Chains A and B, each alone.
Chain A
Amino acid sequence: MSVSSSSPLLIDAPLVEWILVSFLREEVGSAGLARAVLGLSGGIDSAVACGLAARAFGPDNVLALCMPYRASDPASERDARAVAGALGVRYEVVDITAQIDAYFATQPEADALRRGNKMARERMTILYDRSAEFRGLVVGTSNKTELLLGYGTLFGDMASAINPLGDLYKTQIFQLARHLDLPAAVISKPPSADLWQGQTDEAEMGFTYDAVDRLLWDLVEHRLSDAELAAAGHDAALVTRVRRMIVRSQFKRRMPLIAKLTDRTINQDFRYPRDWGV
């Protein structure tokens, strides 16, 4: 996946690397720590996050966990291992089949969505548990495209302490991956949530990252109207669909609502920086 030299999605990759490495160091340092824990799926997002963390803290201070289920594509673990090996980070495989199957033995009617969400949340609990042992922060791997579309599990793969990738569109993640010189297999394969064999994001969503990123750029960054988006060549049906996806997933991008009763409701009129008292 590549973007043309005139695309507004083109990034100055060395500059982005500098900012994100500095972000990781300072925000983890703010918590009094110097280590990171993350889930390494074999996909490109977690590989980029892992590459940035390895540069920020040194490979020995990064714990990458690959957490497959029995239905996961074996190629995913192989690719995760290749990334960890190339970066020199600590790497472990934690198979989640036993606990997932034990739970769903009581929920035989659960569909693929419920099962996928449960797996994502299972992985989250493992990352947070291991982060306490490793004394590192959980580094998030959600990119801006999936955050805007709501293509992620709330309190699952969307959960983290800090996220270096959340302001980069998917096509920009690819640019950064090439700059970071990650293994070619991770960059060339089609993005997949790997909930079942052969699944790809683009087939499941019904549009390409290239098309949706160009649309999101005009829609989110420039707030173009539907008429302006049509004039810019964006498919009207895609525009309608993407607008709806953004609005309907807004709840995933915010902390839970708190019913207001006092004059200093948390995050409404009790407003402190996240980096308070560091």
Chain B
Amino acid sequence: MEAPVTVSLAQCDAVLGDVGRNLEAHLQLIAQARGQGAGLVVFPELSLTGYMLRDLTSDVGMRRDDPRLARLAEASREVDVVAGWIDESPEHGLFNAAGYFHAGRLLHVHHKVYPVNYGMFEERRYWAAGDQVAAFDAPFGRAGLLVCEDVWHPSTSYLLFADRADVIIVPSCSPARGVQPAADGHGGLGSTQSWDLLLRQQSAAYNLYSVYVNRCGVEDGTTFSGNSRVIDPAGNTLAALGLAPELLTLTLDPAPLRRRRAAVPLLRDERLDVTLGNLERIARERFVL
């Protein structure tokens, strides 16, 4: 990690299917984050479109040259922005995308690799699955993007770790479920407790920062659970939000990451050849290639 970065977690609602109104809300929050000294503003999954799109997916899909994305890119001349939308490929594939905008252009795009298709979710019906997980050089160091369910597959964060990510940014639309009181008596959603466990595990195992920005608000009866949070490279929660819309700004410092990697040199000792060789063997044995 090369430099500190001041991140604003823009935990917000969205208007379902209305990119224009959501874009205006983004620009307002970006201005507010700049006022708080942010160098990077992170919005939730599908922040420009809303989540429960179903057949609206094809109506809100945007090509990379869409003027609305250009306006977001323009805003990134002052502060970097991570936002989510439906990315329409030249072949008219529709992907759930998260993009990193920097210095007036789209620096990196991640297509959700694991659209969820069980329980209440039916994403694969509407969205194509991405097939690339890659870290990229952001102004502060190596960064990676994962979208919501991607994190439930530890292979994705492993790939970003292997690709030398310092920070994993996770835009999400996680619905609130599980309203039993917690064992410690403090209450809290079952779904949020699962996310906290996953993100702390990811940060502690791979010695990197996790920045999780989740939606709030209600769509079609489902309440999104907010509880956006930042985890440090030792797996400690640095900050966490509640259920309501909020803009939280804090600085990620390279020093704790450097200290942790010196004390627990997991990345140094990681043997990609062992992983790769064994994955090839497993794939050979499980599938006829």
Contact = CB atoms under 8 A, between A and B. Distances in A.
Contact of A12 (B16, B187, B217, B220): B187
Interface in B165-219: 176, 179-182, 187-189, 217-219
Interface in B20-69: 52-56
A67 B52 CA distance: 37
A196 to B, nearest CB: 35
Given A12-B187, A15-B179, A278-B15, 15 more contacts: A10-B180, A12-B181, A12-B182, A15-B188, A22-B218, A23-B218, A23-B221, A23-B223, A26-B217, A162-B221, A272-B54, A272-B56, A273-B54, A273-B219, A273-B220
Interface string A252-278: 000000000000000000111111111
Contact of B223 (A22, A274, A278): A22
18 contacts: A11-B181, A12-B179, A12-B181, A12-B188, A15-B179, A15-B188, A19-B223, A22-B218, A26-B217, A27-B218, A272-B55, A273-B16, A273-B54, A273-B56, A273-B219, A274-B221, A276-B17, A277-B17
B127 to A, nearest CB: 14
Nearest to B189: A15
Contacts of A11: 179-181
A270 B179 contact: no
B264 interface: no
A14 interface: yes
Interface residues of B, number: 23
Contacts of A270: 55
Interface of A: 8, 10-12, 14-16, 18-19, 22-23, 26-27, 162, 270-278
Given A12-B181, A271-B54, A273-B16, A18 B220 contact: no
Interface in B128-159: none
B221 A18 contact: no
Contacts of A14: 187
Contact of B56 (A12, A15, A16, A276): A276
Contact of A274 (B53, B188, B220, B243): B220
B96 to A, nearest CB: 16
Q: Which 10 A-B pairs have the closest CB atoms?
A: A26-B218, A12-B187, A273-B52, A12-B181, A271-B54, A271-B55, A273-B220, A274-B220, A19-B223, A11-B179
Contacts of B220: 273-275
A19 B176 contact: yes
Interface of B: 15-17, 52-56, 176, 179-182, 187-189, 217-221, 223, 243
Contact of B221 (A12, A15, A27, A276): A27
Nearest to B16: A275
A53 to B, nearest CB: 15
B179 A16 contact: yes
Contacts of B219: 273, 275
B20 to A, nearest CB: 13
Given A19-B223, A275-B52, A8 B218 contact: no
Contacts of B187: 12, 14-15
Nearest to B125: A271
A14 B182 CA distance: 13
Contacts of A162: 221
A275 B15 CA distance: 9
A127 to B, nearest CB: 20
A16 B56 CA distance: 30
A15 B219 CA distance: 18
Nearest to B59: A272
B140 to A, nearest CB: 35
Contacts of A274: 220-221
A276 B223 contact: no
A18 B227 CA distance: 14
Contacts of A18: 243
Contacts of B16: 273, 275-276, 278
Nearest to A14: B187
A103 to B, nearest CB: 35
B179 A19 contact: yes
Nearest to A12: B187
Contacts of B243: 18-19, 22
A18 B244 CA distance: 10
B53 to A, nearest CB: 7
Contacts of A12: 179-182, 187-188
A15 B33 CA distance: 29
